[in-house]
């Protein structure tokens, strides 16, 4: 591969900016950040809405389960279906933008997400809710990729990092408020408002899109890899279906094996297909680069272990310990605060020790902290749980930052767009399977459905998930020795 790039460089505009065209002057009336202030806040609002929706549901799961007449763990389909839809449709977003224009696609994404939210809010059965969550995911799959792409095309290099920091901060605010707001609405109003609050936000977003969104498109668009897209979607859906059938019990091993074999067959056909396609949905040739395959595989095993953690913690606190939805939601806030705090020193750590040593040690620490939640019981004090969640969130923040930037470390800039799409797809795909795995383990370990049964099931589940997470440390140990300074650059 040609020269290395950093994560920040991978995201910077590749087309010439006004500053590149000639000498700098101090009399320029407006910076690109000021000219596109409305666009920055539009993208930030989209990030906020999606971050809020990704975290707000967990604390309301028991209330939703009671209203829809299913078990709390049976609600996992409503969570996994949304994340899986994101994973499947994210790779199509760049092509759709090139073909139909960013303004039209972003408007369609907001409208689809808003309609899906409305349908979630009025759903009367679990299948109706799952179908509406799929529609939500279909819209959400384009919000973040299109938002990033438009900022890359619009904002000058000197203003880009500050603009993305604004967007990321607003998104993190959604992660902080989501669990707390979800608990408050479930306790004092109705869980349906969790979804219905997206409707006015979506309408405002549609108006802002009309006012502030530039319309970028490409005249000569390559043909979309529709066959590869279908094969990838089919393999992913078959895997998730196999996990759902397994959760139903009853020894339906024939159906589980059938769906599993179909997933393998579709996946193998996609590998064969991608090697014979000029523009595949996912370019598997990038896996020849060590940092790429390690980043994707490490993400998979890490998220398999940690993605279902906070759903389990909510069930443990609300059902096992008898906490209110609001108090359970409050215990989720320290995780986001810890993640924000970790961003202050992740660059220094990467600069000092590099990716290999940081990810190896940090992954083991995450696994240990995850397993340590098994020490909690019904009488555990609130300050102890909050402290554990805060520390866990801090180490997870470092883990996510390092994992998400590693994929760009040894890639030429021309591969950055494909790498970003593959990373996002792998992230959401592994999250959906992580939630399914956590739910399956806890359901298998439950001896009954009384509150007392949830405590030992929770303890054994987090112990097993800690073991799954620890396997990712071996994956990260496959990284070659590196110069520490490269880690600092990528961590920014």
| pLDDT digit string, tens, across residues 30-76 | 565 567 778 888 888 888 877 777 777 878 888 888 889 888 888 88
Band of pLDDT at residue 161, cut at 50, 70 and 90:
low
Residue 33: per-residue pLDDT: 59
Give the residue-averaged pLDDT of 171-192.
Answer: 83
Which of the given ranges, 193-202, 203-212, 370-379, has the highest pLDDT on average?
A: 370-379
d(CA 201, CA 16): 34
Residue 21: per-residue pLDDT: 43
d(CA 194, CA 60): 9
Q: Are 196 and 121 in contact (CB under 8 A)?
A: yes
d(CA 468, CA 367): 8
Residue 50: per-residue pLDDT: 77
Residue 8: per-residue pLDDT: 36
For residue 322 the two structure tokens come to 């008898």
For the chain, the structural domain boundaries read: 7-11+33-213+279-491, 225-278
Residue 20: per-residue pLDDT: 41
Residue 445, pLDDT above cutoff 70: yes
Residue 160: per-residue pLDDT: 66
Residue 430, pLDDT above cutoff 70: yes
For residue 396 the two structure tokens come to 């997870």
Residue 5, pLDDT above cutoff 50: no
Distance of CA 59 to the CA centre of its chain: 18
Q: Which CATH superfamily is domain 7-11+33-213+279-491 in?
A: MFS general substrate transporter like domains (1.20.1250.20)
Residue 482: per-residue pLDDT: 60
Which has the closest alpha carbon to 458: 384, 383, 376?
376
Residue 414: per-residue pLDDT: 67
Residue 23, pLDDT above cutoff 50: no
Give the residue-averaged pLDDT of 226-237.
Answer: 87
d(CA 151, CA 250): 51
pTM for the model: 0.77
Helix/strand/coil for 461: helix
Q: Are 369 and 391 in contact (CB under 8 A)?
A: yes
Q: Are 179 and 333 in contact (CB under 8 A)?
A: yes
Which has the closest alpha carbon to 262: 239, 228, 232?
239
- The residue among 51 and 362 whose pLDDT is bigger is 362
- Looking from the CA of 157 toward its CB, the CA atoms found within 13 Å total 13
| Opening angle at CA 80, ends 288 and 258, nearest 5 | 75
Which has the closest alpha carbon to 155: 216, 207, 201?
216
Q: 110-136, pLDDT tens digit by residue?
A: 999 999 999 999 999 999 999 999 999
Give the residue-averaged pLDDT of 312-337.
Answer: 87
């Amino acid at each position: 591969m040609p020269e290395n790039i950093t994560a920040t460089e991978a995201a910077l505009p590749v087309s010439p900016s006004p500053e590149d065209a000639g000498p700098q002057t101090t009399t320029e009336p407006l910076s690109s950040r000021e000219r596109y202030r409305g666009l920055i806040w539009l993208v930030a609002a989209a990030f906020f809405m999606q971050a809020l929706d990704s975290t707000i549901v967990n604390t309301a799961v028991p209330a939703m389960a009671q209203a829809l007449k299913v078990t709390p763990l049976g609600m996992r389909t409503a969570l996994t279906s949304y994340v899986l839809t994101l994973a499947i449709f994210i790779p199509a977003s760049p092509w759709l933008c090139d073909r139909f224009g960013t303004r039209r696609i972003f408007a369609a994404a907001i409208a689809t997400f808003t309609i899906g939210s409305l349908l979630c809010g009025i759903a009367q059965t679990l299948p109706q809710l799952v179908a509406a969550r799929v529609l939500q995911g279909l819209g959400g799959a384009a919000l973040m990729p299109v938002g990033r792409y438009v900022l890359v095309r619009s904002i000058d290099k000197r203003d880009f990092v500050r603009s993305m920091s604004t967007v990321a901060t607003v998104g993190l605010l959604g992660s902080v408020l989501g669990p707390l707001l979800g608990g408050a609405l479930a306790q004092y109003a109705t869980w349906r408002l969790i979804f219905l609050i997206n409707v006015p936000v979506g309408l405002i977003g549609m108006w802002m899109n009309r006012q502030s969104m530039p319309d970028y498109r490409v005249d000569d668009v390559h043909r979309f890899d529709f066959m590869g897209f279908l094969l990838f979607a089919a393999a992913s859906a078959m895997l998730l279906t196999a996990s759902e059938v397994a959760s139903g019990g009853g020894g339906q091993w024939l159906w589980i094996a059938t769906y599993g074999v179909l997933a393998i067959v579709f996946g193998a056909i996609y590998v064969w297909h991608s090697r014979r396609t000029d523009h595949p949905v996912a370019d598997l040739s990038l896996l020849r680069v060590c940092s790429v395959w390690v980043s994707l595989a490490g993400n998979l095993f890490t998220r398999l272990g940690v993605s279902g953690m906070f759903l389990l913690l909510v069930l443990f606190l609300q059902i096992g310990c008898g906490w209110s939805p609001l108090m359970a939601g409050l215990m989720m806030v320290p995780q986001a605060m810890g993640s924000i705090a970790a961003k202050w020193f992740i660059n220094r750590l990467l600069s000092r020790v590099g990716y290999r040593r940081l990810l190896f040690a940090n992954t083991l620490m995450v696994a240990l902290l995850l397993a340590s939640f098994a020490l909690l019981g019904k009488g555990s004090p609130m300050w102890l749980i909050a402290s554990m969640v805060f520390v866990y969130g801090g180490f997870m923040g470092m883990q996510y930052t390092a994992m998400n930037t590693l994929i760009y470390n040894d890639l030429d800039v021309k591969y950055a767009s494909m790498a970003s799409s593959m990373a996002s797809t792998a992230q959401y795909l592994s999250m959906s399977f992580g939630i399914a795995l956590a739910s399956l383990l806890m359901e298998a370990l439950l001896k009954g459905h009384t509150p007392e049964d949830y405590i030992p099931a929770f303890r054994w589940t987090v112990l097993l998930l800690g073991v799954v997470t620890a396997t990712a440390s071996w994956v990260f140990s496959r990284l070659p020795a590196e110069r520490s300074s490269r880690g600092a650059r990528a961590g920014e």
